[in-house]
Structure formats: C-alpha cells, structure tokens
Structure 1
C-alpha cells in the first residue's frame, strides 16, 4: 500500500521515470508470484508479463504513459482508427460507395460502357482509377483527421512509444515501438482496399444490379472479415483471405494470429498475397472486358 501511494505521488508530481521504475519493480514481483502459482492461467501470466515489460520500456523514456485503449494522442489515434473503425464502419461505407460507382454503368440491362467512343478496357481502367482514387482520398482523410484531432487534444505522440506485440512462434510478449505497428498496418490495410475495389468491380460486372452487388459484396467481404473469429474452417486459411488484412493492427500486434492460432497470418504473407492478388485481379478484369467487347463485335458482324 505504501509503495502504491508513493507511485501515485510521483505521478502527480510528473516524476515519470521514478514512478515507472517502482511500478516495474512491483510488476516484477507480481510476475514472480503468478509464475510460481500452478493454478495461474497462461493468459493471466501473459497479461502480467505484458504489464511489467511495458513499465520496463517506459522507465528510460521518462514520459507520461498513454492509454492505447482510449487514445488521445495523434499517432495513437491513427492506430486506434486502423483497429476499430477501418475494418468495420469504414469498409462498409466503402462497399456502398463502390457499388454505387460500378453498378451505375448498367442501366435497364444495358451496358452504358458500349456508348462511349473508347474501348471497354479503357473504360474499366478509368472506373478502377476513380474507385481507387475515392478509396485513397477517404483512407488518407480519415487517418489524417484522427491524427489532427488527437494532436490538438494531447499532442502528436511518439513513434517510439512502447507497444506490446505477441509472438505466436515464441509464445511470449515483446515490447516494440508503435511505429513498428503503425506504418506496416497502414500499408497492409491500403493494399487490402485496392483488392476490395477490384472485387466489387467484378461482382458488379457479373450481377449488374445494385442490390445484388451490394448484398454479395457485404457478405463476401465483411462476412469473411469477421467470420474468421467464429467459423473454425476459415481460421486455418485466414492468411489466404485478402480481407483479413484489413485487421492489420491486430495482425501486426500478434493478437489475431494468437486468437485463431494461425502462425502464417503475418506481415510477410500479406505483402506477398495482396500485391499478387491485385495484379491477378487487374489482369482478369482487363481480360474479361476485352473478351466481352470482342464477342459483341463478332455478334454484331454476324447480324
């Protein structure tokens, strides 16, 4: 009790280094007790281990601790947005927007792309470019707004702020820097959105009407995105589902691979899978547009 009062006093006085040193020592003792207790669960041991390592990392920095669960700093806000908003509300809004954009091409069973004085391949490239531009602007916009809002409240934050990362391979918690999660997460999520643009385009090409396109896109993308939490067969192949990488912060922090016990779900796999899929889908789209255009010309010549 005396030590807790001393820690609180030091925190009130802004003597962060001294306070976190004492907190670190207290967590070390707690970890020793929990480790020796045979009834302690592995999750409890890991939680205590995480706390002691966080305070150990905070001690030399001599800064006030941030709340990563309820962030107020700019950098922390971006990470929170990537974890909580991007894979849920934001992706649903993007699917609505892309459905409207791509399905608008088909009016009363007529492909209006045929009415333009350029090829359907050119039209497809233009449509995909517009879709990707929308996604890019909105993605940068929401991340930029969250960073600005957090910065105005509590400041920019620090790129080297301690961030707990779970290693499924080593079965332990390590403390990295928040930048180790932030920048790779931004890239993974952005690449996943490019895949989504192409997938919605293909669904619109085959089904043409807005409601079926919207329904299938939501089921196929959002359903798979969250289905890995509860559907056992999906968990073993989660690393091969491109939409999983929208949950980039959970992947980079090791939490999602731990939850579904999939050691292959990681940054390296995402950086191989997503660019390859983007290229394959683009080639597929251009092929079917060219093939469809050639077939219509042949039908027209016969008639």
Structure 2
C-alpha cells in the first residue's frame, strides 16, 4: 500500500496541470491582500476620519454655536488620528467612542426619527467592536477588508474557501481520480493489491492532498499579512448577525470551528468527485459536472427561497462556514436550524451515504463457476 501511495504522489507531482490551479489560488490570495490594503488606504479608519474633517471644515456657517461644535469635533478627530498613527489604539478608540456616543448613537436612540434597520445595525455593531477592542487593547482592522495576520486568515476562510479553494480542489481531485482510466481500462486493476486497499489509499490520499493545499494557502495568507501589517490576535472580534446587533465572538474560536467544518466539507467533496469519476470515467465530464453542481449549489442554495425551509439538510450550505458561524445563513434563509452543530450532523450523514455509494460502485460479486452439465 505504501508503494501505491508513492505512485499516487509521483503521478500527482508529474502532472504539471495540477500546479496551475494551486498557482492561481496563491496569486488570488496575494491579490486579495493587496486589494484589501489598497481599499484600507483610501477607505480605512484614518482616511474616513480625515474625510469627516474635510466635510466639517466645509460646514462652517454664521451660527457661532454650531461652528464651535464643529471646531471641537475637528480637534477631537485630529487627536484620534494622531493617537492611531502612534499605534495607541486603546486611547484612539476610547476617544472615537465618545464622538460616536455624541453623534451616531444619539441618532439611533432618537425614537422620534426612526433610522433604517441596516444603519442602526452598522452603528451599534461599530460601537460594540470598538468597546471590545478597547477592553482587550487590540489594534483595529478594517471590517471585511482585513490586512493583518489572523484577521486576514479569517477573511480567506470566509471568502476564498466557498469559491476558488473549492474549484482548485475539484481540479486536483478530478486529475487524481480519472488518471487511472485509459481507453476504458482501469489501471488500478493491474496492481497486485486488494481493491479495498487501493480504494482507501486513493481516497485517503485525496483527502490529504486537498487538506495540504488548503493548509498551505492559509499559511501563505497568514505569513504575508503578518510580514506587512503584523499578526494582531486570535481574540480579534467578529460581529454576529443577531437581533441585538452587538453579539461578538473572537475569531480564534470561529476559525477553529470553521476549519473543522471545512475538513468535513473536504471529505464530502473528495467522495463526491470520486463517485462522479467512477460513473463518467472521463476527466472533462467529471470536472464540468462537479463544478456545475457543487459551485452552483454552494453559491445559490441559500438564495433560493423554496429551498430555505430545508436548507439545514443540504450539505452544500455548510461550505459557507463563516456565514454559518456568524449566523448570516440562518438570517438569509430565515431558518434558525442552519447552525454549526446541524452542519456537522448533515455532513456526517452525507459522507456516510457517499461511502455506501462508493462501496456499491466498487463491489463486484465473484463469478460463480457453472457446472458443465448445467451449461
């Protein structure tokens, strides 16, 4: 069995086409970091405060009281910028919280002038994030445009896994599971090993290869972001999509839960592509059907209303692991059963069903010898 693993390894390495999706995935990871850094430089915390000051300077009028308030706000903003540039984020965010309380929070709490729910959600969420950062003395990173080590890994897990990571893994698995079919002949039958050993070896190698590629991408994303902008902390906050708008969890626990769920997704994906490869025995057909079914359902299933009430039983829903953990998926589908625990149960049941199909596809009853007088 060790020799067969070595054979699979050499076959995978020698196939140059396997390196193309991996190279594309690495480039996209670096491009995401560059894009986030570019957007943060123009729309981040400090640039936005500078824009507020520019707007305030154009807001002076003949009213002395109003002008005095504007001057105080400008001075406060300049102090926040000064503290932030010195990396004294605790003091900067404490001062910014006071500004937030005197402006946006009063607007939200004014019952005579109701504000849109999304605006209220944004303001209260921002306040909760700032309070958490001040309490834990952490540096601010731009929401959904993270550029620091651990927060950027969190963004890669959230954004790249349900899309380009899956595409890359499908391409690798398709090559792995269809390479043995030559002119309708399964070359695996030529190995002097029991079929169950060949099967478990190939599936195990597929899971290991897919997991290794994903681990390398996460390592590259962490190292590159840390070298440029620092690592920040696993205690960095992530805002949950709850009715209170202020519930927070540290990204460390979210990353751990997401990676466990994504590992189950990888096992599900390996078995799914293997089954298609056994049915089609064709590389192009396996790749096309896999991409069409998996990526199509991963990206659309939560947006199809007729499927919303059974979304918790569809394994493809849980490929969007961070959306599950932040409760975005349950909010979009209006299905509170779409949770991490339900995801584990659904994926395990789906994996078991796939294993049964795999066994049936590879089960070949022995041909019984017919006695001569019965021929």
Asked whether the two chains share a fold, i.e. TM above 0.5, the reply is: yes
The one-character-per-residue Cα deviations of 1:223-263 (angstroms, maximum 9, x if unpaired) are 10011254222333332222222211122122232233222
Matched, 1:135 2:204: no
CA distance in 2, matches of 1:284, 1:34: 55
Matched, 1:115 2:184: no
Matched, 1:257 2:330: yes
Matched, 1:60 2:130: no
TM-score (norm 1): 0.89
Q: How many aligned residue pairs are there?
A: 296
CA distance in 2, matches of 1:12, 1:144: 28
User: Which residue number corresponds to residue 194 of structure 1?
Assistant: 267
C-alpha deviation, 1:163, in angstroms: 1.6
CA distance in 2, matches of 1:118, 1:140: 31
Question: Quick check: which has more Rg, 1 or 2?
Answer: 2
User: Which residue number corresponds to residue 355 of structure 2?
Assistant: 282
CA distance in 1, matches of 2:317, 2:96: 37
C-alpha deviation, 1:138, in angstroms: 0.5
- 1:96/1:214 contact within 8 Å kept: yes
C-alpha deviation, 1:87, in angstroms: 1.3
C-alpha deviation, 1:39, in angstroms: 4.1
- 2:278/2:361 contact within 8 Å kept: no
Q: Specify whether residues 63 and 113 from structure 1 end up closer, same or farther in structure 2 by C-alpha distance, changes over 3 A only.
A: closer
When the two chains are superposed, the root-mean-square deviation of aligned CA atoms in Å is 2.2
Greater displacement, 75-84 / 100-109: 100-109
User: Which residue number corresponds to residue 298 of structure 1?
Assistant: 367
- 2:238/2:249 contact within 8 Å kept: yes
C-alpha deviation, 1:17, in angstroms: 2.2
Q: Specify whether residues 59 and 171 from structure 1 end up closer, same or farther in structure 2 by C-alpha distance, changes over 3 A only.
A: closer
C-alpha deviation, 1:63, in angstroms: 3.2
- 1:227/1:234 contact within 8 Å kept: no
Match of 1:78 among 144, 150, 153: 153
User: Which residue number corresponds to residue 101 of structure 1?
Assistant: 176
Where structure 1 has 5 or more consecutive residues not aligned to the other structure, the ranges are none
The one-character-per-residue Cα deviations of 1:42-93 (angstroms, maximum 9, x if unpaired) are 1111111101111111122233212242222221121111112111111111
CA distance in 1, matches of 2:289, 2:112: 51
- 1:24/1:52 contact within 8 Å kept: yes
C-alpha deviation, 1:181, in angstroms: 1.4
Matched, 1:34 2:103: no
Matched, 1:8 2:77: no
Matched, 1:49 2:118: no
How do 1:156-235 residues align onto structure 2 when only pairs under 5 Å count?
A: 156-167=231-242, 170=243, 172-235=245-308
Matched, 1:22 2:95: yes
- 2:148/2:225 contact within 8 Å kept: yes
CA distance in 2, matches of 1:218, 1:39: 45
- 2:303/2:333 contact within 8 Å kept: no
CA distance in 1, matches of 2:130, 2:234: 17
TM-score (norm 2): 0.73
C-alpha deviation, 1:222, in angstroms: 0.5
Greater displacement, 20-29 / 151-160: 20-29
CA distance in 2, matches of 1:37, 1:298: 83
